[in-house]
Amino acid sequence: MILMIGMAMIVSTSMLSMQDLEDTYNVPFKACVVEGNVASVMCSYNQINGKPSCADPTLLRDTIRSQWHLNGYIVSDCDSVGVLFEKQHYTRYPEDAAAATIKAGLDLDCGPFLAIHTDEAVRTGKVSELEINNALANTITVQMRLGMFDGPNGPYANLGPKDVCSPAHQQLALQAAREGIVLLKNIGRALPLSTQRHRTVAVIGPNSDATLTMIGNYAGVPCGYISPLQGISRYARTVHQQGCMGVACPGNQNFGLAEVAARHADATVLVMGLDQSIEAEAKDRVSLLLPGHQQDLISRVAMASKGPVVLVLMSGGPIDVTFAKNDPRVTAILWVGYPGQAGGAAIADVLFGAANPGGKLPMTWYPQDYVAQVSMANMDMRANPTKGYPGRTYRFYKGPTVFPFGAGFSYTRFSQHLVSAPITVSVPTLHSHLVSNNTTTLMKTKATLRTIHTNCESLDIDMHIDVKNIGDMDGTHTVLIFSTPPDPTETKQLVAFEKVHVVAGSKQRVKINMNACKHLSVADEYGVRRIYMGEHKIHVGDDLKHSITFQPSFEEIKV
């Protein structure tokens, strides 16, 4: 099976440090290429440190192709090559742009630019025929692997809706939607709802009967939709009011009808949030708050409701819902992302306890005032207090949050117990270079060793953790492993995770495998990976801690 993915490399127009490139921006792309074995990587319109990503040989040729060993082709985002010439004026002549991208490692252009100008680049000697053939080989090889030259009997020649919409695939869509739901608030175990006590449910909000909104963007044709309203209708009698005219919610004319519905229902579900009119490609959000009068609708309906009030949020990014988090009348909050074709069924299953939520927030939810502190032209990860820059992500931003990275409750409770983990790890060194400044250095009094100067294959670390379900409902728990290096200037970061399903009253043993070079190293200011010698603090979630001390071994590595 071949996996193909388009990846727009590092969307930024700013200067990026080698450190941030190595330890943040390149990390997910490297994982897709090295671990996911993707067949395609896409460069985009952006410039990295003044150079268009589609004309950057350091990224395309040296990093993706040579270091990560991409087994496939590199393609431009549509019209990116034209943009770097016509809009960014990176080269003087169009054939120079064609030559620059092909020489950098681009294999395929989404758009007409290379088709029009490559011939002139070859004719004038700005790019060689061999370089053209290499790009062609990378592209055609993937087409061969896909069976595109095998005629009508190829393995993928006759795929259609019957293959996409099989029962197994539709069940997978439902499972994915269920597993992606994150429970952010649940006062007094308001959820799950009961089909006996909550026979009538008011379903309110601009996304309450959403269909296309649930798909997000860059998706195929759904097999069918189950909206939140339809899903909830399978469990209870529903009273439906949109309350708002779309997610922009420009007025409050229909709030009264929504309040009446909530006042006469046993429970109220508000399905709010965003859609592609607010966040999409070429449409940046300008606020972290809910659009228009959505907040007012939520507060007024919560005040009117006689039963539990559940706020369901659809969005791709974070939303500042501090008001709802702090409002005791909003008894539960669910974030569902854009849950796909079966999203409504999954939401209803979680609301009524047919599925137990186990999702975790994949990003920090910042308060609205964070926007004023962060210029979108500044892609630095690390905070700069002297300039009032707060930093980005849970690793470097230490200010207040609406909900932190990794947040997410369950309808049951779990306990974690560390069964086994090493206390010390010997790190073999290239003895002849041990004292060389090129190999080790003192950083804040802590010795470090370059990962290229040790035997990484010998530095696997296994941890065994028992996860016990101490509640009364089967559920899924995600073991999150964070690490803090010895240097006080370094921050805690997620280094491993494992999801496990545990039946109520039972326990499961989880094995976490880490590699010191890959997971417990840090990037220095030059983007060089180093392992700190000394005590690394390992955090298993919020409540379990362990220390592993790295010690240099003076046994010389055989090379």
> What are the residue numbers of the active site?
77
Which sign does the torsion angle of CA 161, 167, 170, 172 carry? Answer: negative
Q: Give yes or no for a cis peptide into 192 (omega within 30° of 0).
A: yes
Distance CA 386, CA 390 (A): 10
What is the distance between the terminal CA atoms of the chain, rounded to a whole angstrom? 36
* Residue 48 β-bridge partners: 51
Question: What is the helix, strand, coil percentage profile of the chain, to 5?
Answer: 30, 25, 45
Query: Whose CA is closest to 491, among 426, 395, 420?
Result: 395
Query: Whose CA is closest to 288, among 297, 300, 279?
Result: 279
What kind and span of H or E run contains 81? helix 80-86
DSSP assignment, residue 108? B
Annotate 242-299 with DSSP letters as a single string. Answer: --SSSTT----TTHHHHHHHHHTSSEEEEEEE--TTTSBTTB--S-SSPSTTHHHHHH
> In 473-543, at which residue ranges do the beta strands (DSSP E only) sit?
475-484, 493-502, 507-515, 522-523, 529-532, 534-540
Distance CA 147, CA 126 (A): 34
| Residue 416 phi, psi (nearest 5) | -125, 140
Distance CA 273, CA 441 (A): 50
Q: Half-sphere exposure of residue 56, counting CA atoms within 13 Å on the CB side?
A: 22
Annotate 411-459 with DSSP letters as a single string. Answer: SS-EEEEEEE--SEEEEEE-GGGTT-TTTEEEETTEEEEEGGGS-GGG-
Instruction: Give 449's contacts (C-beta < 8 A, 6+ positions apart).
Output: 427, 429, 439, 440, 530, 531, 533, 552
Q: How do beta strands 309-314 and 267-273 pair?
A: parallel
Q: Quick one: how far is CA 17 from the chain centroid?
A: 22
